[in-house]
Structure 1
Amino acid sequence: MTICKPYCLKHKEFYVNIASGVYCGLFIAGMLYLVSCLPSSHQNQCSMVLVESIPQHMQYKANATFGIPLEKAWKDLLSVATTNLEVVSFYWTLTGDDIGINASSDKPGREIFEQLQSLPSKKVEVRVLTSIPSIKTHSTDLKILAEKGVYVRHVDFGHLTKGVLHSKFWIVDRQHVFIGSANMDWRALTQVKELGMVIYNCPSLANDLYQIFSSYWELGMPKNTMPEYLPVSHINKQNPLLVKEDNITSRLYISGSPPLICPNTRTLDLDAIVSSISEAQRFIDVAVMDYSPIIRFQHPKRYWPAIDNAIRTAAFRRVKIRMLISCWPNSFPGMLPFLRSLASLNSSTHHISIQIKFFIVPGGNQTNIPFSRVNHNKYMVTDKVAYIGTSNWDGDYFVTTAGVGLVISQHAPPCIWKRKTVQGQLQAVFNRDWYSEFTVNLTDLGHHADCPLLP
């Protein structure tokens, strides 16, 4: 890994604990962000920037590496919007008032909310989508935005597919894209650990994602039913978007779920995940909040082994597998037997490597804030691809629930793969978390105040 002390000192706002001689493994993300990612009508470079949020009061070791702060990425996207903004979020709670909490950590959410409100007066057409059903709050965000000239629709996926609209993405000027784990929630910026990707100056990908937004928008019409025709996708696993820059060849496509609302030209989210697992040759690293091979939210529950089988098959091909699962007070206890079953296969004698850890965000003095202090990431990185999604790895998210995934495959000389590719950067983030003090081995899980999985 390259030492980049001068860069880190100059742009220390993107990193923490920078000192003389410290490595900053994701320095290239900041460079791309500052140098080549800002909008230009003459560029179509599809510059990719890893973004994340770290909950307040979480302190990593001094040499930890980070993506661009999610708060900064969102604010910058809003500041460059000139014509259109489309936003999809499962729910909206951008102020502490929405959940009856008086917390100073909601300040970034309030600032973003103010930026959103100001866009219509600047002649930017803003359209936002949210889910029915959704979480119960006292949020007035969408009502206020509508009063400011924002177009708002609620999509009743409960009626249409018996699921929810769980996608989280932005499209700015049909040029720039955000996809990731973060809802439009102030806690996503300061109290929940999130991860996503911003792709600048990439109209081909932005327009492909806009086809998904258009489908949702039509489904949000009053008393609507499933459409007879769905917008065709020209970018998929068989025909990815090809981008070449600085000795790196990138292939990108966007996957979707559930099958009921995806045209046959759209790669399904499940197929993207399973094929990524199946094509891995050396390693698979997964970070996801929930993992259970069942249909959880239907009655009766039923077994759903598609991803689980792919993982087991890969392990028997001697692919090294590491899984980082979140644990918090709202974790589903039913996932424990399935995780233990996977972990039981680990055997050096038989050359099977499946390691599983729980990631626990310390509650500290923030436990009064509901549905916070959790690792909400949903991504996978292998020696072949990086996958960043919006779905937990439970069966429902791929059968009835609307979600999207971004798949990136990159080829570069070995000397720059770790430093410059999204896959290399994402693995650096995974390793940071895997070896951090916030993880507990599945086999060592005991009674933990912030992870009450055990009775």
Structure 2
Amino acid sequence: MAGPTTPEPWKTPQKCLAIFALVFCCFVLVVLIFSSVDIWGDDEDSITEENCGTDCRIELVENIPGDFSFPKNGRAHLPLSVGLHTLLDQAKSSIEVVSPVWNLSPWVLEPIPSAAKQGQLLFQRLLSLKSRGVKLKIASGLTNSAELKTLAAHNAEVHFVNMTVFTRGGLHSSFWIVDRKHFYIGSADMDWRSLSKRKEVGVVVYNCSCLALDLHRVFSFYWQLHERDYIPSIWSKRVTALYGRHDALQLQLNATEATAYVSASPELFCSKDRTRDVDAIYEVIQSANTFVFISVTDYLPMVSRSFRGTSVTRYWSTIDEVIREAVVLRGVRVRLLISFWKKTHPLTFNFVTSLKSLCMQLHNCSLEVRFFSHKEQKDDMQHGLNHNKYMVTDNALYVGSHDWVGSDFAINAGVGLVLKMKHSLGDRNVSILERVKAAFERDWRSRYAKSLQANKDQQGKYRNLQQANIYMETKEENEWNNPLYL
């Protein structure tokens, strides 16, 4: 009589369970891969990396408040409002917008100031995009904006990025993308003050679909974070950077050979192959041969973090050190133009004093710092505030979203644009570098840019701006003015 039959090894319950688990894991992996590639990406129309355009035109755009007095000589740059309206005129199918502020029509101010006219006009044109068949998409960190609700009611798509759950920071990026071909990037917010009362700088780039497509991928990253409280571990191929500091886009800018790429911050928001903002700034300063001119609202190489109710502050050396290296070791001339306003941190003056001391008793060493101040800065209106966030060198331009404050780069979402020219400044007629350099030098030589020095009895002993006796010494007058108290 035959004994009991022994089951074949592969038919044991343990083996079957293992095979089922393996098949299930493979299925999950395939789902993740396809969701990261297709579901998580959106339609990029017919523009691809292979067929996009690189013969581009670029314009410097500025907003200069009407009560500013600058010399009439030199080239007039395109007003910011004109640049934005030109982009609206160009739009045929889509406009994608990111802005940290939406306050184009100041609802809470009665009567509405005449200075808000440009903001109201821009807002009305955004509302009318639906009638033209142009899709408006907005990524924002604002949860309770009356203007965004109004735009959404007029067929705009608005996605909310909850920065609090990611970094406890904010969405500070400011850019437009039109038809994946044209774009704006700069310091201006969607705020009526950016179009009238604040000094702003940016660039508008036309017919540059390769670079616009890469900036669109930053927008897509924000767009896909809508109602999410985590960043997926598998990147979508449609948010992966197309270009970076090691493989920049080759293009023509106003018939001049150049390279370009888009950077981002914080590091958590840098998708695969995306260059960090701080690395982009580092690279631009490091590659400068003769000069670096920087214009920012605030300069503070510090990072402050709160952890379990305790605030921790530390020195943030990344940018500060590369400036010191450029000045002392390579003999690069550095000029730093910082805004002087009610929110200027007291330690700014300590860091500036430290930078300026580098050139004491050193030949071929030049580091100058001036503070830009306008008499109309009062309350929280920021009238006359120099809100610029850019750097120009003899061979490159960086336009970004952040002030040069360590905490901004660490926790706030921002973008930057790096343009490097194949020919140094002066080799061609009027390049974008020359235009930005001229704008900087105009501000630098204006009566609003002044050297700040401390009273000798207080030097090095700042506790707050109310206690520091700050004197302003202009190059033109070369004499002490009255103490300035904030």
In 2: Cα distance, 1:413 partner to 1:169 partner: 27
In 2: Cα distance, 1:422 partner to 1:362 partner: 31
* Shift in Å, 1:244: 3.1
* Shift in Å, 1:77: 0.8
The equivalences for 1:156-305 within 5 A come to 156-219=162-225, 221-230=226-235, 231-244=239-252, 248-296=256-304, 298=306, 299-305=311-317
Structure 2 equivalent of residue 312 of structure 1: 324
* Shift in Å, 1:43: 7.2
Structure 2 equivalent of residue 86 of structure 1: 96
Q: Secondary structure at the match of 2:453?
A: helix
* Shift in Å, 1:99: 5.4
In 2: Cα distance, 1:53 partner to 1:201 partner: 23
The equivalences for 1:14-413 within 5 A come to 45-98=55-108, 102-132=112-142, 139-219=145-225, 221-230=226-235, 231-244=239-252, 248-296=256-304, 298=306, 299-316=311-328, 317-347=330-360, 349-363=362-376, 367=378, 370-412=381-423
* Shift in Å, 1:297: 5.9
CA contact 2:254–2:431 (8 Å) conserved in 1: no
Tell me which of 437, 443, 447 is aligned to 2:453: 443
Taking only the aligned residue pairs, the percentage that are identical comes to: 36
Alignment-mate amino acid for residue 419 of structure 2: I
In 2: Cα distance, 1:222 partner to 1:414 partner: 46
In 1: Cα distance, 2:344 partner to 2:255 partner: 43
Which has the higher mean CA deviation after the structures are superposed, 274-283 or 343-352?
Answer: 343-352
In 2: Cα distance, 1:245 partner to 1:306 partner: 30
Which has the higher mean CA deviation after the structures are superposed, 112-121 or 259-268?
Answer: 259-268
Change in Cα spacing, 1:114 to 1:399, as seen in structure 2 (3 Å) is same
* Shift in Å, 1:64: 4.5
CA contact 2:57–2:254 (8 Å) conserved in 1: no
Change in Cα spacing, 1:415 to 1:345, as seen in structure 2 (3 Å) is closer
CA contact 2:177–2:216 (8 Å) conserved in 1: yes
In 2: Cα distance, 1:421 partner to 1:185 partner: 30
In 1: Cα distance, 2:203 partner to 2:386 partner: 16
Change in Cα spacing, 1:129 to 1:446, as seen in structure 2 (3 Å) is same
Which has the higher mean CA deviation after the structures are superposed, 97-106 or 369-378?
Answer: 97-106
CA contact 1:247–1:412 (8 Å) conserved in 2: no
Change in Cα spacing, 1:339 to 1:178, as seen in structure 2 (3 Å) is same
Structure 2 equivalent of residue 5 of structure 1: none
Q: Secondary structure at the match of 2:217?
A: helix
Alignment-mate amino acid for residue 442 of structure 2: R
Instruction: State the TM-score, normalized to the length of structure 2.
Output: 0.78
* Shift in Å, 1:428: 0.6
In 2: Cα distance, 1:210 partner to 1:245 partner: 19
| Residue segments in structure 2 that go unaligned for 5+ positions in a row | 1-50, 455-469, 474-481
In 1: Cα distance, 2:53 partner to 2:224 partner: 31
In 1: Cα distance, 2:216 partner to 2:415 partner: 12
Q: Deviations over 1:170-208 (max 9, x none)?
A: 000110010000010010010000000111001111110
* Shift in Å, 1:59: 1.3
In 2: Cα distance, 1:440 partner to 1:144 partner: 43
Change in Cα spacing, 1:288 to 1:101, as seen in structure 2 (3 Å) is farther
Change in Cα spacing, 1:304 to 1:100, as seen in structure 2 (3 Å) is farther
Q: Deviations over 1:270-289 (max 9, x none)?
A: 00001111121211100000
Change in Cα spacing, 1:202 to 1:77, as seen in structure 2 (3 Å) is same
Instruction: State the TM-score, normalized to the length of structure 1.
Output: 0.84
In 1: Cα distance, 2:359 partner to 2:142 partner: 41
CA contact 1:294–1:302 (8 Å) conserved in 2: yes
Q: Deviations over 1:104-123 (max 9, x none)?
A: 00000000000000002221
CA contact 1:58–1:362 (8 Å) conserved in 2: no
CA RMSD of aligned residues (A): 2.4
Q: Deviations over 1:65-100 (max 9, x none)?
A: 432100001111112211010000011000122456
Q: Secondary structure at the match of 1:237?
A: coil
* Shift in Å, 1:411: 2.7
Which has the higher mean CA deviation after the structures are superposed, 436-445 or 311-320?
Answer: 436-445
Q: Secondary structure at the match of 1:97?
A: coil
Alignment-mate amino acid for residue 81 of structure 1: A
Q: Secondary structure at the match of 1:330?
A: coil
CA contact 2:452–2:472 (8 Å) conserved in 1: no
CA contact 1:347–1:353 (8 Å) conserved in 2: no
| Residue segments in structure 1 that go unaligned for 5+ positions in a row | 1-40
Structure 1 equivalent of residue 464 of structure 2: none
Higher radius of gyration, 1 or 2: 2
Change in Cα spacing, 1:284 to 1:348, as seen in structure 2 (3 Å) is farther
In 2: Cα distance, 1:288 partner to 1:228 partner: 35
Q: Deviations over 1:117-148 (max 9, x none)?
A: 00022211101122258xxxx85211110110
CA contact 1:379–1:389 (8 Å) conserved in 2: yes
* Shift in Å, 1:414: 6.2
Following TM superposition, where does structure 1 have runs of at least 4 consecutive aligned residues deviating by more than 4 angstroms? 41-44, 98-101, 366-369, 413-416, 451-455
Which has the higher mean CA deviation after the structures are superposed, 151-160 or 266-275?
Answer: 151-160
Q: Secondary structure at the match of 2:263?
A: strand
Change in Cα spacing, 1:69 to 1:247, as seen in structure 2 (3 Å) is closer
In 2: Cα distance, 1:348 partner to 1:442 partner: 21
Q: Deviations over 1:223-246 (max 9, x none)?
A: 431122332112111111111367
Q: Secondary structure at the match of 2:150?
A: helix
* Shift in Å, 1:47: 0.6
CA contact 2:58–2:254 (8 Å) conserved in 1: no
In 1: Cα distance, 2:284 partner to 2:316 partner: 18
In 2: Cα distance, 1:110 partner to 1:386 partner: 31
